[in-house]
Each structure stands twice: as structure tokens, then as C-alpha cells.
Structure 1
Amino acid sequence: MEYRVLGRSGLRVSEVSLGCWAIGGPSWRDGEAVGWSGNNDNESLGGLRRAFELGINHFDTADVYGDGHSERVIGRFLKEVPRDQVVIASKVGWFRGTAPNAMQPIHIRHQLEQSLMNLGTDYLDLHYFHNTNFGPDDLYLEEAADTMRQLQKEGKVRVIGQSGYSYGDFMRVCPVTRPDVLQFHYNAFGNSFDRPDTNLFRWADERNIGIVLFGPLAQGLLLDKFDPENPPKFGEGDVRASNTAYSKERLLEIRQKLVPIKERFGTEAQDLVRAAIQFALAQSPNACVIPGFKNDRQVESNAQGAGKPLNAEDVAFIRSILQSK
């Protein structure tokens, strides 16, 4: 396993880390499915243990993943490993309980205490604002930022992070939240974060801010694992059930685009894992990826994508194929 430092945060993490959304299981928010089906706690624990054996040291969760279930599974794992040998990240911002907004300061403090209880630890290495919704006209923004810094002073949070979904949102809140790590969605299909006028990688690198990328495998779409003639069906509470990318038409389109990728990098699923993970990692020396998992086999596959960087020509080739219209 190779390791990277997340910029000025000083956190040293495995370049392939783990996202722990899927192990939270099915869940809903305001009537919408926001979880994952098909999880098994024993298999999840097996995956976490195998990750630690393989040198993966960074585990990313959130209060909302399975409404605390992901955190509690990780809490069982933390009883088995030295706490100072792992980097544990969680988030606040999607689960608001009875508060008017999830970023209300007293709610942030409550949710952190609950996350610490779920995890069985007295501090988080990294705590994110999970989104940029700080209430009408950013009503809670300054107070929320002050609250997070106070929790940092109390030793309950080591590093403050900011997750977001658009360049404009990051630009709006980061001057106030002053994060040392950013988290956002990115993979070889590309998005606004790698465009010239909204290049968040360049912005973060200029400030030595760490970057954590979720979705590097595009929830399996970059691995050609789904049969277009028999599109996958997902259980209740699974966020993928409403994703049109799993339609026959889109799966066929992706399969065609992956043909030259396979010709260049290899036809096995593992070859595609490596290409996808290393493409994302190539965007910044301060970045790591957090692919998801449900079992030890998927953890092993993710881990094997580490330590095999792409050269500049490989990166340009993938971009030209997958991001062409």
C-alpha cells in the first residue's frame, strides 16, 4: 500500500482508503432512498479487518449512513485495532433530527457526541460538514464553523473537512469553514471539478488542501460488471434504484466506451479497477480515493488498485475516451 499526506492537514492516509456508506445498509431521508441494500454486518467487519491487514488505514463514514449503523459497525472494528493506527472520518449535515437545519450548532455538537459513542472513540481524526446547506441565506454558517473549531480545541476533532457538490458552493463556504480537507465526487467520467473555470483540484493544490475523492469506480459502472441485457435491480432503501445510469441504454453506451480502455489496460475487472483508481489519484498528489465495499473480496480488489500509477499519456487517453461526447 502506498500512502499520501492530505496536504496541510498532515493526515497520512493510504492512497486507497475505504468509503463506508454501503455498510450502513438501506436507509431513507425525506422519503427518498439514500442507503444501500445487500449488506451483511459480519461481511462488513471481515472487509474492515482485511483492509487493516492490507495497510488501508483511513475509513470514511457519516452520521447519516444507515442512521448511525455504519459508525456502529466501525465501532466494533475499532475494538480490535490500535486507535492511533487508523484515521477515522465522519460527517454531519444530512441528518437533522428535530433541528430546523442539520448545521444548527447545538445539533452539530449533539451529532458529534453521538458519532463518538457509535464509534466507541473519544475523537475523530477528520470531521466534515457533509454539504453546504447552512440554512436560508447561510443563517448557521458562521456559528457552525465556530462550533466545529471549538470542538477542535476540545480535542474531539483533529481536522475539519468540507464536503460539497458544486464548485460554487465550495467557493461560497470555504472562506468561513476554512477546511484542511475537501471531499467531493470524482471519477474518470469527469465532472465540473476538472474543468478549466471550476477546477477544484487546482484550487485546493494552490492552498495545500487535502482531497478525498468518493465514487472513483462510479459505483461499479467503470468496471463493466453489469449486463445491459439484464440491468441490475436494487432493493428498497438503495440509492442506486433511481439512478438512470443503470438503464440498458446507458450500460450499453458505457460498455462500448470501455472497449479501448480494455485494449490498453487489460480486460479483467481488476485491470479496470486499477485504471479507474489511478486515474482519480493522478489528479492531485494531495488526494486519496475512498471506494466503497461490502465484503473482504471487494476490499482486496480495491487495495490491488494501489501502487500502480498511470503515466500522463495513460491519463490523457482515459480522459479522451470516457469524457468524449
Structure 2
Amino acid sequence: MRYRVLGRSGLEVSEVSLGCWAIGGPSWRDGESVGWSGNDDSASISGLKRAFDLGINHFDTADVYGDGHSERVIGRFLKEVPRDKVIIASKVGWFRGTAPNAMQPIHIRHQLEQSLMNLGTDYLDLHYFHNTNFGPNDLYLAEAAELMRQLQKEGKVRVIGQSGYSYGDFKRVCPVTRPDVLQFHYNAFGNQFDQPDTNLFEWAAEQNLGVVLFGPLAQGLLLDKFDPENPPKFGEGDVRASNLGFTKERLLEIRQRLVPIKERFGMEVQDLVRVAIQFALAQSPNACVIPGFKNVKQVESNAHGAGNPLNSEEVAFIRSVIQKA
């Protein structure tokens, strides 16, 4: 396992870390599926332990993942490893309870205390604003940012992060939230964050910000493991049920685009795991990836994608093949 420093945050994390959304299980928000089906807590715990043994030291969760269930599973894991040997990240911003907005400061404090209780720890290494919705006209933005700084002073939060879903949103709120780490969605399919006018990697580099990338495997779509003639069916409460990437037509299209990737880098799923993970990591020396998992096998597959970087020509080749018009 190789390690990287997340920019000015000073946090040294495994380049392949773990996203813990899937181990939260099925969940819903405002009637929409926002969790994952098929999880098993014993398998999740075994996966977390195996990750630690393989050198993975950074585990990313959120208060909303399974409505706290992901945090509680990690809490069980934390009882069996030295707390100072792991980096635990959580987030606030999607679950609002009875508050008018999830970023209302008193709600942020409440959720942090609940997250700490769920995790069985007295501090978070990294605490994110999970999105950029700070209320109408950013009503709670300044107060939320001020509270997060106060939580730092109290020793309950080491590093502040900002997660978001558009370049404009990051540029709008970051001057106020002043995060040291950014988290956003990125993989070899590309998105707005690698475009000339909205290149978040370049902006983060200018500010010496750490970068944490979720979705590096595109929920498995970059691994060619789904049969287009028999698209997967997902259980209730599973966010993938609404992903149009799992249609027959899209699976066939992706399979065709992966043909030259397989020919060059290898035909096995593990070869494609390495390509997907290292493509994302190649975007910034201050970046790590947080692929998800549900069991030991997936943890081992993710971990084995580390330590074998792509060169610039290989990155350009992958981009030209996967992102072709």
C-alpha cells in the first residue's frame, strides 16, 4: 500500500482508502432510495479488519449512511484497532431530522455528537459538509462554517472537508467554509471536474487542498462484470436502482469501450480495477480514492489496485477510449 498526504491538511492516508456507504445498508430519504442492498454486518466487519491488515488506514462514512448504521458498524471495528492508527471521516448535511435545514448549526453539533457516539470515539479526523445546501440564499453558511471551526477548537474535529456536486458550488461556498480537503465524484468516464473551465483538480492544487474521490469504479460499471443480456436487479432502498448505467444498452456500450482497455492492460476484472483506481489517482498527487465494499473479497480487490501507477501516456489512452464522443 502506498500513502499520500491530503495537501495542507497533513493527513497521511492510504492511496486506496474505503468508502463505507454500502455497509450502511438500504435506506431512503424523502421517498428516494439512497442506500445499498445486500450488506451483511459480519462481512462488513471482516472487510474492515482485512483492510486494516492490508494497510488501508482511511475509512469514510456519513451520518446518513444507513441512518447511522455505517457509523455503528465502524464503531465495532474501532474497538479492535488502535484509534490513532486510522483516519475516520464522517459528514453532515443530508439528514436534517426536524431542523429546517441540515446545516443549521445546532443540528450540525447534534449530528456530530451522534456520529461520535455511533463510532465510539471522541473525535473525527475529518468532518465534511456533505453538500453545499446551506439553506435559502446560504442562510446558514457563515454560522455553519463558524461552528465547524469551534468544533475544531474543542478537539472534536481535526480537519474540515467540503463535499459537493458542481464546480460552481465549490467555488461559492469554499471561501467561507475554508476546507482543507475536497471530496467529489470522479472516475474514468470523466465529468465537469476535469474540464478546462471547471477543473477542480487544478483549483485544489493551487490551494494545496487534499482531494478524496468517490465512485472510482463507477459502481462497478468500469469492471465489465454485469451481463448486458441480464442487467442486475437491485433490492429496495438501493441507490443503483435509479442508475441508467445498468440498462442493457448502456452496459453494451461500456463493454465495447472497454475492449481496447482489456487488450492493453489485461482481461481480468482485477486488471480493470487497477486501471480505474490508478486513472483516478493520476489526476492529483494530493488525492486518494474511496471505493466501496461489502466483504473481504472486495476489500482485497480494491487494495490490490494500489501501488501500480499509470504513466501519462497510459492515462491519455484510457481517457481517449473511455471518454470518446
TM over 0.5: yes
Partner of 1:218: 218
Aligned to 1:81: 81
> Separation in 2 of the partners of 1:13 and 1:296?
20
Distance 1:5 1:63 in 2: 25
Helix, strand or coil at the partner of 2:63? coil
Q: CA–CA distance in 1 between the matches of 2:290 and 2:156?
A: 23
Which residue matches 1:142?
142
**Paired letter, 1:168:** G
1:59 correspondence with 2:94: no
Counterpart of 1:250, as a letter, is R
Structure-2 residue corresponding to 1:7: 7
**Which residue pairs with 2:20 in the alignment?**
20
Query: How far does residue 93 in structure 1 lie from its aligned partner after superposition?
Result: 0.1
Deviation per CA, 1:219-258: give whole Å up to 9, x if none: 0000001000000000000000011110000000000000
Aligned to 2:206: 206
Structure 2 equivalent of residue 246 of structure 1: 246
Superimposed CA distance per residue, residues 3-57 of structure 1 (whole angstroms, 9 cap, x where no aligned partner) = 0000000000000000000000000000000000000000000000000000000
Q: CA separation in 2, counterparts of 1:13 and 1:135? A: 33
TM-score (norm 1): 1.00
Taking the TM superposition and a 5 Å limit, the aligned residue runs for 1:78-157 are 78-157=78-157
User: Alignment RMSD, CA only?
Assistant: 0.2
Residue 269 (structure 1) shift: 0.3
| Partner Cα distance (2:94, 2:122) in 1 | 22
1:290 aligns with 2:298: no
**Deviations, residues 158-215 of structure 1 (Å, cap 9, x unaligned):** 0000000000000000000000000000000000000000000000011110000000
SS of the residue 2:203 aligns to: helix
How many angstroms apart in 1 are the aligned matches of 2:243 and 2:176?
Answer: 33
Deviation of the 1:126 alpha carbon: 0.0
Quote the Cα distance in structure 2 between the aligned partners of 1:141 and 1:4. 30
Cα distance in 2 for residues equivalent to 1:165 and 1:324: 23
Letter in 2 for 1:224: D
What is the identity percentage for the equivalent residue pairs of Structure 1 and Structure 2? 87
Please name the residue that 1:300 is paired with.
300
Give CA deviations for 1:106-155 in whole Å, capped at 9, x if unaligned: 00000000000000000000000000000000000000000000000000
Counterpart of 2:301, as a letter, is: S
